[in-house]
Amino acid sequence: MNEDDRWNKRREESLQRQQESAQEPQQAQVDDLTSYMNPDMGVDISMPEIPVPMPPPAAAEKEDKNKDTCDVAFNFAFIGAGQGGSRLAESFSKLGYKKLAVLNTAQQDLNTIKLVSNKLCIGDGGAGKNPDVAEKLFVDRKEDVLDFMYDSFGEAVDRIFVCAGAGGGSGAGTLCPLIETAQEMQRGIKSPTDKVGVVLALPKHSEGKKVNANAYATLVKVWDYVERGVVSPLVILDNEKINSLYPGLPVGPFWETANMSIAGLFHLFNHTASKDSTYSAFDSNDYKQVLDTGLIVFGAATVDDWKTPSGISKTVRDNLKNNMLSGGVDLGTGNSAGVVIIGGQQILNELPQQNLDRAFDQFSRILQKGSVVHRGIYSGNKPDLTVYTAIGGIQKPHAKLEELKKLGDLD
């Protein structure tokens, strides 16, 4: 072996020793870890007790046990308080809404409500047009009422509406506590909004001092909730206006007509917002924007003279002046509107677009500066042309309040 061979051998031996010494501790570490993790060698890894945070369960679809039988953009629930409020809630049942409940201080009144099965009586014999009596009764039963709402509506609810007649005892007295309870439930079930809707029936002039005075006080109280952003929308149904819109309407069908006018118009917007249009859609975001503006007034008018450019505009103007379901409100203070035009196929085939545009443009001029007008054009199953309007964001109804105050002898 010459000098070179000896040098190469020493180098190889040295390299081999280096490799062995580099591997030894590594192998020792691996052996250590394996024995720590796998002492009985029967499982892959024997885990030490580490508190592992659980991932939140995937947001489960809320079960809708009271699914509406009509097509709607939003799942609304209605609780009617007092006799008028209960009848209002009942009219939504006729349209296919299923999240319904009624509450009263008199069992006899509840017995007359046939189409709503969820009923709660919190008193005995009524409140005799005294809202304070009903409000006191509510205080003791608040938790029962909350449970009652949960049981009646289920959890798939987007917004709860409290319906009441403003001039009575039971409905008027429980309205504000019901608004608060409804908001509590909406928060509890994480509804997409915590704003609560109100459908409020205002009395006819002829109903007398006490009723008008009650209605004044109720409207003032509810307005406070509107201003604080708790109530939206506030939908006013003015029975005096119904009286003038349908002159000579007999006593028998009066309430039914009043209730169906508001429920029908209300539903029309919730229904169209769920539908596609071949022309121009009023979608659910448009509707939500109007619903969140506070005071809303609805109206509808059939257009006969749709062939002339000013025909539709004139009908719309007259409608806004005369046909809205509440008097004593200043529509010019509104900051938002939903305008849905539904026409028979034949009319829509012949109707010049500019006639429609002119009618829509008019809304922007009538409402507050910078207001938003959401449009929708749909073909319908009736041969005529009808304009449906929902004007929102209306300011405090001073004229209506003054009128109620005067009729209620509160000056």
Ligand X SMILES: Nc1nc2c(ncn2[C@@H]2O[C@H](COP(=O)(O)OP(=O)(O)OP(=O)(O)O)[C@@H](O)[C@H]2O)c(=O)[nH]1
- Give which of ligand X, Mg ion, none residue 239 binds (C-beta under 5 to 8 Å, depending on kind): ligand X
Among residues 174, 176, 77, which one has the least CA distance to residue 130? 174
Nearest approach, Cβ of 373 to ligand X (angstroms)?
Answer: 28
Instruction: Output the smallest distance, CB 354 to ligand X, in A.
Output: 39
Strands across the sheet containing 336-343: 119-121, 100-104, 76-81, 159-165, 196-202, 231-238, 295-303, 385-394, 336-343, 372-379
Q: Give the three-class secondary structure for 176.
A: helix
For residue 174, the minimal CB distance to Mg ion (Å) is: 11
Q: How many residues does the chain have?
A: 411
**How far does CA 315 lie from the centroid of its chain?**
29
Q: For 367, phi and psi rounded to 5 degrees?
A: -80, 175
List residues near ligand X by CB under 6 A: 82-85, 87-88, 105, 109, 126-129, 165, 167-171, 201, 203, 207, 211, 237, 239, 255, 258-259
CA–CA gap between residue 236 and residue 222 (Å, rounded): 11
Nearer to Mg ion, 213 or 342 (CB): 213
Nearer to ligand X among residue 171 and residue 376 (C-beta): 171
Q: How far is the CB of 252 from Mg ion (least distance, A)?
A: 19
Question: Could you report how far apart the first and last alpha carbons of the chain are, in Å?
Answer: 129
Please, which residues have CB within 8 angstroms of residue 45's CB and are 6 or more apart in sequence? 37, 38
Minimum Å distance from CB 352 to Mg ion? 52
- Rounded distance, CA 335 to CA 224, Å? 19
**75 or 212: whose CB is closer to ligand X?**
212
Beta carbons within 10 angstroms of residue 39's beta carbon: 10
Structure tokens at 256: 């039914």
Q: How far is the CB of 267 from ligand X (least distance, A)?
A: 16
Residues 180-199 that bind Mg ion (CB under 5 A): none
Q: What x/- string results for residues 122 through 151 when contact with Mg ion is judged by CB under 5 A? A: ----x-------------------------
Q: Using H for helix, E for strand and C for coil, what is the string for 259-327?
A: HHHHHHHHHHHHHHCCCCCCCECCCHHHHHHHHCCCEEEEEEEEECCCCCHHHHHHHHHHHHHHHCCCC
Considering CB distances under 5 to 8 angstroms, the limit depending on partner class, which of Mg ion, ligand X, none binds residue 211?
A: ligand X
Q: Which residue is nearest to Mg ion (CB)?
A: 83
405 is in the binding site of which of Mg ion, ligand X, none (Cβ under 5 to 8 A by kind)? none
CA distance 234 to 175: 12
From 74, 79, 83, 92, residue interacting with Mg ion (rule: CB under 5 A): 83
Among residues 105 and 186, whose Cβ is nearest to Mg ion? 105
**At closest approach, how far in Å is the CB of 203 from ligand X?**
4
334 contacts which partner out of ligand X, Mg ion, none, CB within 5 to 8 A by kind? none
Nearer to Mg ion, 126 or 408 (CB): 126
Nearer to ligand X, 219 or 303 (CB): 219
Q: Which residues bind Mg ion (CB under 5 A)?
A: 83, 109, 126
